[in-house]
């Protein structure tokens, strides 16, 4: 078992220190609720939200903003370019009940970079400092940022970046342990970051992220880096019970509402399917089912067949039929072990 079972981010205590990573098209209310059904997650997250567009987004119908009372603590990740969007974006997310604000300083999409957001904002230090100061002035909520390692593996440069972020008042840093241009299929570099807080010389919590797909990697990553917590992205869409597995193995074993030790994959799939139907307008459901199935199908040896057949579907009914057909044919490998 790991000794540190919680982490404080500003006034918030996150326990266990296991964080859902923001993922566009994936970390909406349906996936967050599915994860909560298994338990084990310390902090949930939205996907990245444009601070410029947030004020005009309809919180009742927008899949980016739909949320339920049980989804707490919940971090809202902002994609922001300028101080001019701070006031209205904060007003909106405070009204929605945000528990924490995260700033995206890692996105490298050309459209985002062109406007000066994501990792480009981390290079526009003066504007970034003004944005963080303004956020801190206007809200009591804790503020974090998510970054990548940088262009090269350069600990001095990384340490300077983290020192700057700590200096401007951030409450924690999420570090995606890949270089800026590294694809997600490349191994993360947390093995090269032993005692991360010491080597970077910072005091605020550091949560590391990248390539955690089960309790073994989680244990290794925490033992090597001694980070304050772990953030999990794709692993949470493949195995929505991953937080429960890690919590039960490394932190503290607990019974949860879904409970059983063995996870029946079709049940998990259709639980997600029903959340989509219940929560989102019909035209917003099938795209999100396709996105999720791309990851969830990896639980099966020939899961690409499931992913591809759902990918071709026009609507949810058709997707249900092809998924049921796939599950019927793959009956022998339906059961996996949660912990």
Ligand X SMILES: Cc1cc2nc3c(=O)[nH]c(=O)nc-3n(C[C@H](O)[C@H](O)[C@H](O)COP(=O)(O)O)c2cc1C
* Residues found near ligand X in the complex (CB under 6 A): 21-26, 47-48, 77, 104, 106-107, 146, 176, 184, 209-212, 232-235
Instruction: Please enumerate in sequence order all residues whose Cβ is within 8 A of that of 295, keeping only pairs 6 or more positions apart, or say none.
Output: 26, 234, 237, 238
Residue 323: its H or E element: helix 316-329
Least distance from C-beta 325 to ligand X, angstroms? 26
Rounded Cα distance between 323 and 254, Å, is 31
Catalytic residue among 107, 162, 177, 313: 107
HSE (side-chain half, CA atoms, 13 Å) at 226: 9
Q: Which residue, 144 or 285, has its beta carbon nearer to ligand X?
A: 144
313 counts as catalytic = no
Least distance from C-beta 211 to ligand X, angstroms? 5
CA dihedral 275, 281, 286, 288 (to 10 degrees): -60
Least distance from C-beta 41 to ligand X, angstroms? 13
Least distance from C-beta 321 to ligand X, angstroms? 26
**DSSP string over 165-189:** HHHTT-SEEEEEEEETT--TTSPPS
Taking residue 71's Cβ as centre, other Cβ atoms within 10 Å add up to 18
Nearest residue to the partner ligand X, using Cβ: 233
**Cα dihedral 306, 309, 310, 316 sign:** negative
Least distance from C-beta 122 to ligand X, angstroms? 12
Q: Which residue, 33 or 104, has its beta carbon nearer to ligand X?
A: 104
Pairing of strands 12-14, 18-20: unpaired
CA angle 78, 79, 84 (to 5 degrees): 90
Q: Which residue, 92 or 239, has its beta carbon nearer to ligand X?
A: 239
Least distance from C-beta 17 to ligand X, angstroms? 15
77, 49 in Cβ contact below 8 A? yes
Q: Which residue, 184 or 302, has its beta carbon nearer to ligand X?
A: 184
How far CA 179 is from CA of 77, 149, 162, 187, 311, in Å, comes to 21, 5, 15, 11, 31
Least distance from C-beta 186 to ligand X, angstroms? 10
DSSP state of 22: P
Q: Which residue, 33 or 75, has its beta carbon nearer to ligand X?
A: 75
Q: Which residue, 186 or 312, has its beta carbon nearer to ligand X?
A: 186
Rounded Cα distance between 34 and 190, Å, is 28
3-class DSSP state of 276: helix
Q: Which residue, 92 or 234, has its beta carbon nearer to ligand X?
A: 234
Rounded Cα distance between 246 and 214, Å, is 7
Q: Which residues are catalytic, by number?
A: 107
């Amino acid at each position: 078992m790991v000794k540190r079972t919680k982490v404080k981010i500003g006034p918030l205590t996150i326990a266990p220190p296991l964080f859902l990573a923001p993922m566009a098209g994936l970390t909406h209310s349906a996936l967050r609720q599915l994860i909560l059904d298994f338990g084990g997650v310390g902090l949930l997250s939205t996907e990245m939200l444009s601070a410029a567009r947030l004020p005009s987004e309809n919180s009742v119908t927008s899949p980016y903003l739909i949320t339920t009372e049980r989804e707490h603590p919940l971090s809202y990740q902002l994609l922001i370019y300028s101080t001019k969007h701070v006031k209205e974006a904060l007003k909106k997310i405070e009204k929605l009940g945000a528990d924490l604000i995260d700033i995206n300083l890692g996105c490298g999409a050309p459209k985002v970079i062109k406007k000066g957001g994501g990792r480009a904002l981390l290079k526009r230090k003066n504007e970034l400092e003004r944005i963080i100061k303004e956020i801190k002035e206007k809200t009591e909520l804790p503020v974090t940022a998510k970054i990548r390692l940088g262009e090269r593996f350069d600990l001095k440069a990384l340490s300077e970046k983290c020192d700057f972020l700590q200096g401007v008042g951030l409450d924690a840093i999420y570090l995606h342990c890949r270089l800026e241009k590294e694809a997600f299929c490349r191994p993360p570099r947390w093995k090269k970051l032993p005692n991360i807080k010491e080597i970077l010389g910072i005091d605020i919590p550091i949560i590391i992220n990248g390539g955690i797909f089960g309790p073994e990697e989680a244990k290794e990553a925490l033992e090597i880096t001694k980070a304050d917590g772990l953030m999990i992205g794709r692993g949470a869409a493949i195995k929505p019970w991953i937080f429960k597995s890690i919590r039960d193995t490394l932190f503290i074993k607990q019974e949860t509402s879904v409970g059983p030790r063995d996870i029946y994959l079709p049940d998990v799939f259709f639980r997600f399917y029903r959340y989509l139907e219940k929560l989102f307008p019909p035209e917003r459901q099938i795209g999100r089912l396709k996105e999720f199935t791309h990851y969830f199908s990896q639980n099966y040896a020939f899961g690409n067949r499931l992913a591809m057949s759902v990918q071709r579907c026009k609507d949810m009914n058709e997707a249900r039929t092809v998924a049921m057909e796939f599950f019927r044919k793959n009956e022998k490998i339906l059961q996996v072990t949660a912990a």
